[in-house]
């Protein structure tokens, strides 16, 4: 069913992109109702505009909190043109029909990002805007509702090509998007008031279609604003798998915060750490990280908390990688790294600890959990001797690395360098075997290395096998009914055993 727009109500916070719409509405002879700053914007363009106050007979009151909440406005939006009684009542109370509603919402989320002042935040909770959007979307059989400025160009095209007429399919599509926008807005407000039970929904206003998903036959879309986190300095568009690994890389480097006394370089492959080290310089950190597993590094995502200089760039340039993430690059380094046009270079804008909730859709619902924060809940030494200062530093480092490996996971660290790892194994002893094999493959001497486990040792076989390879210090959460078996072995052989009380499963 085609409907011709004859009147429009416009009330928006952001005016950019609005001028072409009101100019086109004026060309078509469509009556425009507006209020406040939007009314002034339209009049400053030299175009006629009817103040909403002429319908309500009330001025904007309570500091602007009440402007459009009136039967003369909502009757014009909700009145059903196909219901004779609605038309009778609209005529009786001099309520004009409104055919187009253009309304956006106060910038609540933007305000949250710029202030913690409660008064300022509360005043950005829109009341009239969501009400008008919902009303117009509900009455989509008769109205067009535009609730997002990224749809302004689409509306201008409709006005120009269809002479102000719209189809029922078009109106329903606009309504569907409007309801989603209001839903997201309400969830953001609810999350502010209920931070401990925060909900999540995809953000429609910033979405990016990806080439494909995890595999070429899967469609995929990213919802979110990457520009808040990164400046992309070079390369192709990030793929689905790139984004998953970039997330893993950022989570890893976030563990080390802004501590520039230690430069950390990490290499991620399929969300697992396959190389990492902490060194005095970024070049030394890269060399040590790569040495941990140069095979797995091929095609990986690499990340550092240091400034990438030319010497490091020259070394990195020798291997194929998908993405490099760093807080800063020297100009000379960028000249080297930009030599390959598809290579993705991201400048990380800030490093912040993980916070909030994690979400996972499965079965017919969604799992929500707290983010896995922290390294250990306690440092309880239960072995045959106390850890040396160097062992403590390596154990702390190892536990962070192990946290970022898929379970079951074992990380072997020596001089704050990953020298062996086993991850994604169905038994802990297999994860250990794999980590030892990796260390031997790349000629590492495990004497003096330390071992981290993401969960408890169910038996003492892991400490026995690791000890046989020269490992003398262990860190694990504990919690097994057979903890004593591993503890007794460490006590008997004068080995370090640290219980953290914090498990780091990762699936």
Which residues belong to the active site?
138, 270
Task: Give the bridge partners for 105, in sequence order.
Answer: none
Nearest in space to 398 (alpha carbons), one of 446, 458, 348, 459: 446
Question: Is 57 in a helix, a strand, or coil?
Answer: coil
Q: Are 412 and 428 in contact (CB under 8 A)?
A: no
| Helix 461-468 vs helix 483-492: crossing angle, to nearest 10 | 30
Contacts 24+ apart (CB under 8 A), 296-300: 296/267, 296/269, 297/267, 297/269, 297/321, 299/269, 300/245, 300/267, 300/268, 300/269, 300/274
Sequence-ordered list of residues with C-beta below 8 angstroms from that of 89, at least 6 positions apart, any chain: 75, 79, 95
How far is 501 from 499, CA to CA, in rounded Å?
6
Where are the extended beta strands (E) located within 201-305? 207-209, 221-223, 230-234, 263-269, 272-279, 300-304
Q: Are 452 and 405 in contact (CB under 8 A)?
A: no
What's the gap between Cα 460 and its chain centre?
Answer: 40
Task: Give the bridge partners for 300, in sequence order.
Answer: 321
Q: List, edge to edge, every strand of the sheet that includes 100-103.
A: 50-51, 31-34, 7-11, 100-103, 144-146
Question: Is 420 in a helix, a strand, or coil?
Answer: strand
Question: Is 346 in a helix, a strand, or coil?
Answer: strand
Task: Give the bridge partners for 279, in sequence order.
Answer: 263
């Amino acid at each position: 069913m085609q409907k011709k727009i004859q009147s429009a109500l416009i009330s928006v916070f952001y005016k950019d992109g609005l001028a072409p719409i009101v100019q086109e509405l004026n060309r078509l002879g469509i009556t425009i109702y507006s209020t406040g700053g939007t009314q002034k914007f339209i009049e400053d363009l030299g175009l006629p505009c009817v103040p909403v106050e002429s319908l309500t007979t009330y001025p904007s009151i309570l500091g602007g909190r009440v402007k459009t909440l009136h039967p003369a406005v909502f009757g014009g939006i909700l009145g059903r043109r196909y219901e004779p009684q609605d038309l009778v009542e609209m005529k009786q109370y001099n309520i004009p029909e409104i055919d187009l509603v253009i309304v956006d919402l106060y910038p609540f989320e933007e305000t949250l990002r710029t202030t913690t002042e409660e008064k300022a935040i509360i005043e950005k909770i829109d009341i009239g805007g969501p009400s008008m959007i919902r009303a117009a979307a509900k009455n989509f059989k008769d109205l067009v509702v535009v609730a997002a400025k990224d749809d302004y160009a689409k509306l201008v095209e409709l006005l120009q090509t269809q002479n102000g007429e719209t189809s029922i399919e078009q109106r329903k599509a606009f309504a569907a998007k409007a309801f989603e926008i209001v839903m997201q807005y309400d969830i953001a407000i609810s999350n502010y008031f209920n931070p401990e039970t925060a909900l999540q929904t995809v953000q429609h206003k910033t979405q990016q279609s990806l080439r494909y998903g995890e595999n070429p036959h899967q469609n995929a879309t990213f919802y979110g604003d990457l520009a808040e986190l990164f400046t992309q300095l070079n390369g192709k568009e990030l793929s689905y798998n790139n984004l998953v690994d970039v997330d893993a890389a950022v989570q890893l480097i976030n563990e080390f915060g802004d501590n520039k006394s230690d430069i950390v370089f990490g290499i991620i492959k399929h969300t697992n750490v396959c190389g990492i080290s902490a060194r005095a310089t970024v070049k030394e950190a890269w060399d040590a990280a790569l040495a941990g597993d140069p095979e797995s590094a091929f095609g990986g995502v690499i990340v550092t908390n240091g400034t990438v200089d030319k010497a490091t760039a020259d070394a990195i340039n020798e291997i194929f990688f998908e993405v490099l993430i760093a807080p800063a690059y020297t100009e000379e380094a960028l000249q080297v790294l930009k030599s390959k046009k598809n290579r993705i270079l991201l400048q990380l804008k800030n490093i912040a600890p993980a916070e909030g909730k994690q979400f996972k859709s499965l079965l017919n619902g969604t799992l929500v959990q707290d983010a896995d924060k922290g390294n250990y809940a306690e440092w309880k030494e239960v072995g045959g001797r106390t850890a040396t200062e160097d062992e403590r530093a390596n154990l702390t480092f190892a536990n962070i690395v192990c946290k970022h490996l898929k379970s079951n996971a074992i990380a072997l660290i020596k001089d704050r360098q990953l020298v062996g790892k086993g991850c994604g194994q169905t038994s802990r002893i297999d994860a250990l075997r794999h980590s030892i094999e990796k260390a031997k493959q790349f000629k590492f001497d495990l004497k003096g290395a330390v071992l981290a486990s993401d969960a408890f040792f169910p038996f003492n076989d892991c400490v026995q096998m690791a000890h046989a390879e020269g490992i003398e210090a262990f860190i694990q959460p504990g919690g097994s009914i057979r903890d004593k078996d591993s503890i007794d072995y460490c006590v008997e052989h004068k080995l370090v055993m640290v219980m953290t009380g914090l498990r780091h499963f990762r699936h």
